[in-house]
Structure 1
Amino acid sequence: MANQSGQKKPILISGAGLASLLLAQALRQTSLPFVIYERDASLSFRAQGYRLRLSTLGLDAIESVLSPEDWKLFWDTCGKTGGSGFAALNAVTGEDITQPKSDAPPQKMVEQERKGGPLDLGSRDGKIVGIARGEMRSLFLRGIEDRVRWSHNVTGYETTETGVKVIFADGSKSEEGEMLIGGEGIYSKVAKQVSGGKLKTYDTGARGIHGQAPTTSFKELGEGVWRAVDESRGEGNKVFMITNVRPNDMDDPNVNFGWTMGAQPGVIQPPSGDYAIIGKPAADMAKELSKDWHPRLMPLFNNMLETEAAFWKITCSTPWGVPEWPNDPRVTVIGDAAHSMTPAGGIGANTALRDSALLGKLIAEAGGFAEGITAAYEKEMRVYGSEAVAQSYGMATGQFGVKITEDSATV
C-alpha cells in the first residue's frame, strides 16, 4: 500500500537487536522500505554481552537472508572452535568433570543436558561456530545504517484503517507504516500491547557477569568450549563460568576473548540492584567470586578488562509455551520479545534468528503487508519457540537452580 506521495509505506521495526537487524536485511534483499527505531543512542551505547554460539539452525537462518557477499564476510568473521561439546572443569581443583559424550538420539541428549550432561554444540564441519554479539550487530547493520533512527524509545503503537504508527516516549508518533514488528527485547512494550499482557518475561533470580580478557590469558585452557563449576560454597550457592576459546589469535594480546559467569539466585547482586552499572563494580565481584579458583582459570580474571565487565539478569519467558493472543494482521513480535530464554544451551539467539528468516520470507513472498502473514508466522513460531524455551528452562533448572511459577516476579 502506498502513502500520499505514491511511495510504498515502510515496515516499522522496533529495536535494533540481532533479530530486528536480520529481519531488516531480509527486507533489504527484496527492496521493501523499512525503518528501525532504537532507544539507544548508538550501536556502542552499552555492553554487547557474551560471545554467541551459532547452531545449525541459526547459521541456516542467517545464510538464507544475507547476500552471498555479506554471508561470506559473516562466515569469515565467525570463530570456529574444535570439539563438539563442553569440557567441564571443577573451578577450584581443576579436575576434569566432563561426562562421557552420549550417542543417544537428540531428545535423549536434551534430557541428559537438563541433568547436567554434555550438549552437542557442533554446527558446521564439526566445528563450534561463534561470534561476539557486537560484531554480529555491526555486520547485520551493513548497508542499512541510514534506516536506523537512534534515540527513539518505543512505548506503544496505534493502528489506523490503512496501517500502524509507533508511539515514542515523548508522546510523538512515527510516520504510518504497513506493519510493525516488535523486536525490542524482554522489556518490549509492543509485545505487551499486542498480546494483551499475555507475553511475560520472568525474573529467575539468577544473575551473572560478562567479562573480557586478552587472548593470551586463555592459553592455559587451550582451544575448546569450557564450563567451570564451583560448588565449594555449598548447596544453593553454585557459581559457574563459560568461555569459548577458539584457536586463532591466542598469541595476540590485542585481541580479547569473552567469558560469562553465572550463579544461583542470591549469589550475585549488583550494587543497589542496578544492572546498568558496568565496569569496576562488576569486575571486582567477579574477582572475589573466583579468588580461590584453579591457576588455569585465574588469568581470565586477573587480566580482565575492567571497563568491559557488566552485570546481567537471567530471565525466561513462560516455560510452558509461547502463549496465544488474538492475532493482529499488522503487528507481531520477534526474538526475546516473543520468547526470552536463559543462556543454558545457547538457544535464545538462534531461535530469534529463525524468527527473522521466517517472517522476512513471508513478507518478501507477499511483497509487503498482506492479510495472514502475522498469523502464519505466529503459528509456526509458537511451535519451535515453545520447544526452545522449554529446553532452555529445563537445562537452567539444573545449572542455575531456578524455578518459575505463575506467581513468579516478571520484568
Structure 2
Amino acid sequence: MATTTRKPILISGAGLSSLLLAQSLLRASIPFQIFERDASVSFRAQGYRLRLSSEGLDAIESVLSPSDFQKFWDTCGKTSGAGGGFTTLDALTGSPPPAETSSDDKPKAPPMSLTSRDGKTIGISRGDMRRLFMSGCEPFINWSHRVTSYELTPSGVRAVFADGSKSIEGEMLVGGEGIYSGVAKQVSGGRIKTYDTGARGIHGQAPSTAFQGLGEGVWQVRDTSRSQGHVFIITNVRSGDMDNPDVQFGWTMGSHPGVIKAPNDDYSMIGAPAASIAQELTANWHARLRPLFEQMNVSEAAFWKITCSTPTGVPQWTNEPRVTVIGDAAHSMTPAGGIGANTAVRDSALLGRLLGEKGGYEGGVTEAYEREMRGYASEAVRASYGFAKRQFGISIDENSKTV
C-alpha cells in the first residue's frame, strides 16, 4: 500500500464483504484498518458452499486484478444441472416427485435458474472465498477486536470496542460485522432489524464418494412425510471429485420452524449434537441418500439459525456521511436461492468503486452508496424472503422476534 497522510478507512468485521471491500481499497492505495472479533481466521467454522450468481461474479471480477480473479475462478467449482436449477428428489423414494401444480391446476413455474456462467452453476466454499479475499490484507487486520459502536470526531470517526477502548481516528467507518452489528443498529437508529424466522438448519459434510448415488448436479431433497413440518437438504455435487475419498462435499439441511431443535436451545453447538439430529431425521430416507449422513464428518456438523431482514426491503435512515454498512449488517437474508452472499459482494464492489473514484473518503460517498444499494438489496431481500416462505414455511412481520 502506498504511503499516504490520509487517515484510514475503518472496517468492522473480516467477513467476505469486508475483505472484498479491502481489496478495492488495496488496489486504489487507500489506507484501511480491519477490526475482527475472532482471534484468527481459523477461529470458527466457515460455513457452507456458496453459489455465485452472474451479478456476484461480475462484482468480484470488477474488484480483483485479472490474475487474482483467474485464481478465484480456478478455485470455483462448475456444476452442470438439469435445466439450470435444482433437481428435486423425494427423500423416501429417492426419485423425483410427481409434477406439482398451482391452485389453478396449471404447472408451477420452473425453479429459479442457478447458472451464472458457461451454463454452469458456480460455487465456492466460504473458507476458500475468505482466504482468497484476505490475500494481501493480512497486515491490516486487527484480530480479537470486537466493534460494538462508534463515536464521531470533529474530523473523522473512531470505532469503540467491547472493552471500552477505541480505535485510531479514521476518515470513515464501514460496518461489515454481520447480523449482530452494533454499527448498523447505531447508524440506522435501530431501523435495521434482523428477524428470527424460527426455522433452523444443520450444515454437514461427507466424503465425495458418499454422493455417488446422486451424481453431478444441484440437488434438493425433500421429506414431506412429517406432520410437524418438512425437512429438506440442498447439495451441489461437482464433477471430477466423486471418486476421491479425500475430497468432501457439503450439504445444508433446513426445516420448518420447530422441527430441528438444538439441545438446550444452544445453536452454537457443533459436532456430535448436530450430526446425531441430522442422522435421526434422515434414518428412513432412501438408500441412495443415506450415505450423505451415515458417512458424514461428525466434527464438521453445525446448527444454524435462519434469519431475515425486514421482508419489505432495506429501510430508510438518516445518512451519516462518515458511517455506513455492508453485507449482512445492512441486509440479512435467508439461504434460499443463495442470494445473500451475492448481494454482499455487490455492496463491496459498489462502495469500493465510489471510494476509489474519489481517492478515499469524500462527503456524499456513503449517501450515494446507500441510495444505490437500497434499490438492489431491497429487491434481493424480498426475493429471499419469498423463496423461504414457500420453502421453509416461515412468516415474519414487523412484530416478529428479532435477534
TM-score, normalised by the number of residues in structure 2: 0.96
Match of 2:205 among 208, 212, 215: 212
Q: In the alignment, does 2:164 pair up with 1:164? A: no
Q: In the alignment, does 2:132 pair up with 1:139? A: yes
Q: In the alignment, does 2:38 pair up with 1:29? A: no
CA displacement at 1:118 relative to structure 2: 1.4
1:169-212 Cα shifts (integer Å, max 9, x gaps): 00000000011000000000000000000000000000000000
Match of 2:372 among 370, 376, 380: 380
1:236-273 Cα shifts (integer Å, max 9, x gaps): 51000000001021111111110000000000111111
1:135-186 Cα shifts (integer Å, max 9, x gaps): 1000101111111111111110001011000000000000000110000000
- Show the counterpart of 1:8: 6
Contact 2:4 2:31 in 1 (8 A): no
The one-letter code sitting in structure 2 at the alignment partner of 1:37 is: F
- Show the counterpart of 2:103: none
Q: In the alignment, does 2:312 pair up with 1:339? A: no
Contact 2:311 2:381 in 1 (8 A): yes
CA spacing shift, 1:333–1:99, aligned 2, 3 Å: farther
The one-letter code sitting in structure 1 at the alignment partner of 2:347 is: D
Give, in whole Å, the separation in 2 of the partners of 1:8 and 1:373: 16
Contact 1:88 1:98 in 2 (8 A): no
CA spacing shift, 1:6–1:302, aligned 2, 3 Å: closer
Contact 1:206 1:263 in 2 (8 A): yes
3-state secondary structure, aligned to 1:136: helix
Give the unaligned 5+ runs of structure 1: 101-111
Give, in whole Å, the separation in 2 of the partners of 1:194 and 1:143: 29
3-state secondary structure, aligned to 1:347: helix
Contact 1:116 1:399 in 2 (8 A): no
Q: In the alignment, does 2:304 pair up with 1:281? A: no
What is the 5 A alignment of 1:11-410?
Answer: 11-83=9-81, 84-97=84-97, 117-234=110-227, 236-410=228-402
Give, in whole Å, the separation in 1 of the partners of 2:241 and 2:95: 26
Contact 1:191 1:337 in 2 (8 A): yes
- Show the counterpart of 1:104: none
- Show the counterpart of 1:103: none
Give, in whole Å, the separation in 2 of the partners of 1:276 and 1:116: 37
Give, in whole Å, the separation in 2 of the partners of 1:196 and 1:361: 27
3-state secondary structure, aligned to 2:197: strand
Give, in whole Å, the separation in 1 of the partners of 2:4 and 2:79: 51
The one-letter code sitting in structure 1 at the alignment partner of 2:213 is: E
CA spacing shift, 1:196–1:305, aligned 2, 3 Å: same
Give, in whole Å, the separation in 1 of the partners of 2:370 and 2:4: 31
Give, in whole Å, the separation in 2 of the partners of 1:6 and 1:288: 58
Give, in whole Å, the separation in 2 of the partners of 1:181 and 1:368: 13
1:21-67 Cα shifts (integer Å, max 9, x gaps): 00000100111110110101111111111100000000000000001
The one-letter code sitting in structure 2 at the alignment partner of 1:90 is: D
- Show the counterpart of 1:109: none
CA displacement at 1:275 relative to structure 2: 1.6
Alpha-carbon RMSD across the aligned residues, in angstroms, is 1.5
CA spacing shift, 1:240–1:117, aligned 2, 3 Å: farther
Give, in whole Å, the separation in 1 of the partners of 2:76 and 2:95: 30
CA displacement at 1:97 relative to structure 2: 2.8
The one-letter code sitting in structure 1 at the alignment partner of 2:151 is: E
TM-score, normalised by the number of residues in structure 1: 0.94
3-state secondary structure, aligned to 1:63: helix
The one-letter code sitting in structure 2 at the alignment partner of 1:305 is: N
Contact 1:62 1:353 in 2 (8 A): yes
1:322-381 Cα shifts (integer Å, max 9, x gaps): 111110111000000111000111100000010000000000001101010000000011
CA spacing shift, 1:328–1:410, aligned 2, 3 Å: same
- Show the counterpart of 1:108: none
Give, in whole Å, the separation in 1 of the partners of 2:166 and 2:98: 54
Give the unaligned 5+ runs of structure 2: 101-105
The one-letter code sitting in structure 2 at the alignment partner of 1:371 is: G
% identity of equivalent residues: 67
Contact 2:85 2:112 in 1 (8 A): yes
Give, in whole Å, the separation in 1 of the partners of 2:230 and 2:381: 23
Give, in whole Å, the separation in 1 of the partners of 2:255 and 2:98: 19
The one-letter code sitting in structure 2 at the alignment partner of 1:148 is: I
Give, in whole Å, the separation in 2 of the partners of 1:339 and 1:386: 8
